[in-house]
């Protein structure tokens, strides 16, 4: 059974929307002239972010998904990355943007980039909604970052805790409470 908790808002829906709009402009400038940008969402946490991001992009896009897991239903990374769902299409010679919800230890993003680099895309760039540099164990950083956050366990805007709270329109910090409080 999950310990009781409350969620304190960290990043508002309005702040997220404004940041995505700014990030989309930077991405458009980087990929100007592309015939089609393959936007690869890392499931499951990125699904809300990727939906909002592609709607802001003024580029021709194709969306694909890859599901990688290093967490299961826990709060700590296992550091063992498993690919649960691979891309449906090929990316060789194509412009690719990998969309991640949060870069924590760096194991997942590092593993995914090695996998995708081997498939020889023309360009491979990354964007993460959230970055926790204080937790990094693998030297990696996304090309674009929405927000840098402290070492807090967060939920909302597609990010879950044991499959709950993905539907929150904001990013919230999970704070555990005493059962008797």
In a domain, 5, yes or no: no
In a domain, 144, yes or no: yes
Selecting among 52, 104, 131, 151, the annotated active-site residue is: 104
CA angle, residues 48, 72, 140, in degrees to nearest 5: 70
Report the number of distinct structural domains present in the chain. Answer: 1
Query: Domain limits at 115?
Result: 11-151
Average pLDDT over residues 35-50: 95
- Residue 178's Cβ-side half-sphere holds a number of Cα atoms within 13 Å equal to 2
Alpha carbons 32 and 107: distance in angstroms, whole number: 30
Query: pLDDT digits over 86-117, tens only?
Result: 999 999 999 999 999 999 999 999 999 999 99
Query: pLDDT digits over 44-93, tens only?
Result: 899 999 999 999 999 999 999 999 877 554 555 556 788 899 999 999 99
| Residue 178: active-site member | no
Q: Residue 126 is part of a domain; what is its CATH number?
A: 3.40.50.2020
Query: pLDDT digits over 138-177, tens only?
Result: 999 999 999 999 999 999 999 998 889 999 999 999 999 8
In a domain, 75, yes or no: yes
In a domain, 162, yes or no: no
């Amino acid at each position: 059974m999950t310990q009781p908790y409350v969620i304190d808002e960290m990043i508002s829906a309005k702040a997220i929307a404004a940041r995505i709009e700014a990030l989309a402009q930077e991405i458009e400038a980087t990929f100007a002239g592309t015939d089609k940008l393959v936007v690869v969402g890392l499931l499951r946490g990125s699904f809300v972010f990727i939906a909002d991001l592609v709607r802001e992009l003024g580029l021709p896009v194709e969306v694909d998904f890859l599901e990688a897991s290093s967490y299961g239903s826990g709060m700590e990374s296992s550091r063992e990355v498993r690919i649960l769902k691979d891309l449906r299409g090929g990316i060789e010679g194509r412009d690719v943007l990998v969309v991640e919800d949060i870069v924590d230890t760096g194991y997942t993003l590092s593993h995914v980039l090695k996998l995708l680099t081997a498939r020889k895309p023309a360009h491979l760039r990354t964007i993460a909604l959230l970055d926790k540099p204080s937790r990094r164990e693998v030297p990696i950083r996304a090309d674009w970052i929405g927000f840098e956050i402290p070492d807090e366990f967060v939920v909302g805007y597609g990010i879950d805790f044991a499959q709950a709270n993905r539907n929150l329109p904001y990013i919230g910090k999970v704070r555990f409470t005493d059962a008797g409080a």
